[in-house]
Structure 1
Amino acid sequence: MTSLPGFISRALGLTAAMRGRASSRSHSSPQHDGERFRNVKPRPAEGFGKTLSIAWNVLFNKPRGTAPAGALPVDALTREQLVAAPDRSLYRLGHSTLLLKLRGQFWLTDPVFAERASPFRHVGPKRFHAPPIALADLPPLAGVILSHDHYDHLDRETVLALAATTSVFLTPLGVGDRLIEWGIDAAQVRQLDWWQHAEIGGLAFTATPAQHFSGRSLFDGNSTLWASWVIVDGDLRVFFSGDTGYFDGFKTIGERLGPFDVTLLETGAYDAQWPYVHMQPEETVQAHVDLRGRWLMPVHNGTFDLAMHRWQEPFERVTGLAAARGVALATPRMGERLDLAAPLRGERWWREIAETAQAPKTPARWRICRNAGQANP
């Protein structure tokens, strides 16, 4: 749960793997201090009292409305549809899981198909909707692009299931070591430091800075790097933020690698209690401007309850802010195709779901509401 303070997400991983994974490459990175990875601007230390207060609020003082009152409108997908789709198509599958079709091949970001963003099967944030397509029905992937190792961005079972049909896993430093520990063939893994790039299948990928943190247990905080990603396909440039607070790095990325046709920026799981690691919607819009983006697509929302804000608040706030600043905003439904070369605004689909009037409860069953999708337990 990357939206919560570091100790909460790591506490959930108490039973997870606890070994450090700083390779010799990590030690030579400017982002590594010899023991841990770090941000360009040091993250302020949080006292125990503040941390305990935040944990108490998250666990026992959740406001109403942090979960949707009804089923989300999700467009069901099939492998046949995806194979037939034109190049430069993007499909949002949930949270920060995005499927891109570029040059006839498929790329998947931060894949989480699990029911919960948690190391445990029965505890932790439960998703509000089924993925638009089952994991087993995905077409073979040219690659998986990982931003960092938190549970809502990196699901072990999903990654292991994808290994047989994925050519390469692109990761920040240390995250690839974790995949190898899990059993992924080292030949499939390419680990990059910030500003390093790889060319694969006619596409250029650059790992770029982000302001965040990492860890999956109480004992491995910041042992792996976090990153945003730039994807270049000829004259098309796409930016994927992963998780990040707002920082000067956006302007630097825009100057060095922009402008961008589409920015896929986190807009959700934010809170004034943890401003350093996630952006408020005002900061998301400013980051898009810094990046010199053309179209903004907000992600990191809608699938899991990871904060204290109302479920629909990220969508409403970013919509209003973008309109006020003349920013073109794309808000596709889960599973709806977005044309990266010519995006459209999309419906305000979240307004179809009435705000809950009771304490948040995850729907008992996931439902796909469009295109005759089948309900999934």
Structure 2
Amino acid sequence: MTFSLCPPADRQLPYSDSPQHRHGKFHNDRRIRSLSVGQTLAVAWNMFFNKPADTVPPGSIPVDTLTRAQLDAAPDRSLFRLGHSTVLLKLRGTFWLTDPVFAERASPLQWLGPKRFHAPPISLAELPPIQAVILSHNHYDHLDKAAVLALADKTEFFLTPLGVGDTLIEWGIAPGKVRQFNWWQGTELAGVRLTATPAQHFSGRGLADSNKTLWASWVIRDDELRVFFSGDSGYFDGFKAIGDKYGPFDLTLMETGAYNAQWPDVHMQPEETLQAHLDLRGRWLLPIHNGTFDLSMHSWHEPFERITALAAHHHVALTTPRMGEHLSIAQPQPTTRWWRALAALPAHPAEHQLLVTRD
């Protein structure tokens, strides 16, 4: 692993020193299955015309509205889930934001594409100064151009996988604010150590830029406290490698949603999410990448139900906070199954919500 305080922000393609970069594109460590043209068209047809009714909630997702004053008063090592994979962390008196998406739609077009189920718990304008925005890859449900530009003046640094930083600079972000990394590279800012780690995914924002930028997960360390942010990934042996090198983790923020049997290598089924958490040697699991956008064929509440049942069966400590709800990173707590009332699902016995922390 390489640590650097100031990796070059103006790094140019072809990133020849990256083992992941070959023939003008980035690659996973193993070959992943891709859809044929016919399969891609079939997926698109189903997504547009055969969607089950329950992929979208029947009413408003519960959101705990946040204010700047509440965030300023929150203790260190606090976390607030803002939606999808957007998480705000408070460490050492500073704020850190993952994959900020505040757009109405996860799409290049704001009149077409997956629409938000809920408003963000706090507006971009009211967010406090951000020490660093931590980006996992460039898909529209993780990289929101309008949000990045709105955050430019109040953000000290933007941390990205290789190539994503170049996109930010093209958009007008000051090069001195951009730090971009290959897997196993990282930096230290304000006493917090951050490392870009492997993921198994892909990138692209249009028809001509497939895999032109890298994708990553992130390890975030504040002294002995360790948090893992998965970004997007299929299940692979990289989770064990990360766990062996940096675990155990106090909290894992793990992709749990937008899965489908037709794209098994780039998103995880809930069973794989749980196994990845165990590979990482995680103590508490917080499922993300759900509850905000309709990106697959499963019901909107299915990811919560499946991961809750799996965690209970395997005695894994699980927390599923409402959007905007305060969570202590150092001492997480089981939370209510807030989605059940909206989904009109029967209540489970209360004791199933009290899960045992895995050491």
* Structure 2 length-normalised TM: 0.92
Superposed counterparts of 1:1-377, under 5 Å: 23-24=12-13, 26-354=15-343
C-alpha spacing 1:226/1:101, structure 2 compared with 1 (3 Å): same
* Mapped partners of 1:257, 1:348: distance in 2: 31
How many Å apart are 1:197 and its aligned residue? 1.2
* Mapped partners of 1:79, 1:22: distance in 2: 36
* Mapped partners of 1:185, 1:25: distance in 2: 21
How many Å apart are 1:45 and its aligned residue? 3.4
List runs of 5+ in structure 2 lacking aligned partners: 1-9, 346-359
- Would the aligned equivalents of 1:285 and 1:322 in 2 still touch at CA under 8 Å? yes
What SS does the corresponding residue of 1:50 show, helix, strand or coil?
A: helix
* Mapped partners of 2:67, 2:316: distance in 1: 32
Deviations along 1:248-267, one digit per CA (max 9) or x if unpaired, are 00000000111100000000
How many Å apart are 1:34 and its aligned residue? 2.9
The one-letter code matched in structure 1 to 2:61 is L
How many Å apart are 1:355 and its aligned residue? 5.2
The one-letter code matched in structure 1 to 2:73 is A
What SS does the corresponding residue of 2:48 show, helix, strand or coil?
A: helix
Deviations along 1:89-128, one digit per CA (max 9) or x if unpaired, are 0000000000000000000000001111111110111101
* Mapped partners of 1:47, 1:232: distance in 2: 41
How many Å apart are 1:278 and its aligned residue? 0.4
* Mapped partners of 2:242, 2:132: distance in 1: 23
- Would the aligned equivalents of 2:321 and 2:336 in 1 still touch at CA under 8 Å? yes
* Mapped partners of 1:355, 1:248: distance in 2: 38
The one-letter code matched in structure 2 to 1:46 is L
What SS does the corresponding residue of 1:324 show, helix, strand or coil?
A: helix
What SS does the corresponding residue of 2:25 show, helix, strand or coil?
A: coil
- Would the aligned equivalents of 1:150 and 1:214 in 2 still touch at CA under 8 Å? yes
Deviations along 1:176-223, one digit per CA (max 9) or x if unpaired, are 000000000000000010000101100100000000000000000000
The one-letter code matched in structure 2 to 1:346 is T
How many Å apart are 1:233 and its aligned residue? 0.2
What percentage of residue pairs aligned between the two structures are identical? 67
Deviations along 1:288-331, one digit per CA (max 9) or x if unpaired, are 00000000000000000000000100000000001101100011
- Would the aligned equivalents of 2:14 and 2:24 in 1 still touch at CA under 8 Å? no
* Mapped partners of 2:74, 2:257: distance in 1: 29
* Mapped partners of 1:26, 1:323: distance in 2: 44
Per chain length, whose mean CA-contact separation is higher, i.e. which structure has more relative contact order (CA < 8 Å, sep 6+)?
Answer: 1
How many Å apart are 1:51 and its aligned residue? 1.4
| Runs of 4+ residues deviating >4 angstroms | none
What SS does the corresponding residue of 2:54 show, helix, strand or coil?
A: coil
The one-letter code matched in structure 1 to 2:313 is A
* Mapped partners of 2:155, 2:81: distance in 1: 19
The one-letter code matched in structure 2 to 1:110 is D
What SS does the corresponding residue of 1:27 show, helix, strand or coil?
A: coil
Number of residue pairs aligned between Structure 1 and Structure 2? 336
* Mapped partners of 1:260, 1:45: distance in 2: 32
How many Å apart are 1:352 and its aligned residue? 1.8
Deviations along 1:259-292, one digit per CA (max 9) or x if unpaired, are 1000000000001111111000000000000000
* Mapped partners of 1:22, 1:184: distance in 2: 14
What SS does the corresponding residue of 1:207 show, helix, strand or coil?
A: strand
How many Å apart are 1:32 and its aligned residue? 0.3
- Match for residue 355 of structure 2? none
* Mapped partners of 1:347, 1:46: distance in 2: 38
* Mapped partners of 1:189, 1:38: distance in 2: 23
- Would the aligned equivalents of 2:80 and 2:327 in 1 still touch at CA under 8 Å? yes
What SS does the corresponding residue of 2:55 show, helix, strand or coil?
A: coil
How many Å apart are 1:354 and its aligned residue? 3.1
How many Å apart are 1:25 and its aligned residue? 6.4
* Mapped partners of 1:205, 1:45: distance in 2: 31
What SS does the corresponding residue of 2:15 show, helix, strand or coil?
A: helix
What SS does the corresponding residue of 1:301 show, helix, strand or coil?
A: coil
Deviations along 1:225-264, one digit per CA (max 9) or x if unpaired, are 0000000000100000000000000000000111100000
- Would the aligned equivalents of 1:22 and 1:223 in 2 still touch at CA under 8 Å? no
* Structure 1 length-normalised TM: 0.88
How many Å apart are 1:172 and its aligned residue? 0.2
* Mapped partners of 2:11, 2:175: distance in 1: 16
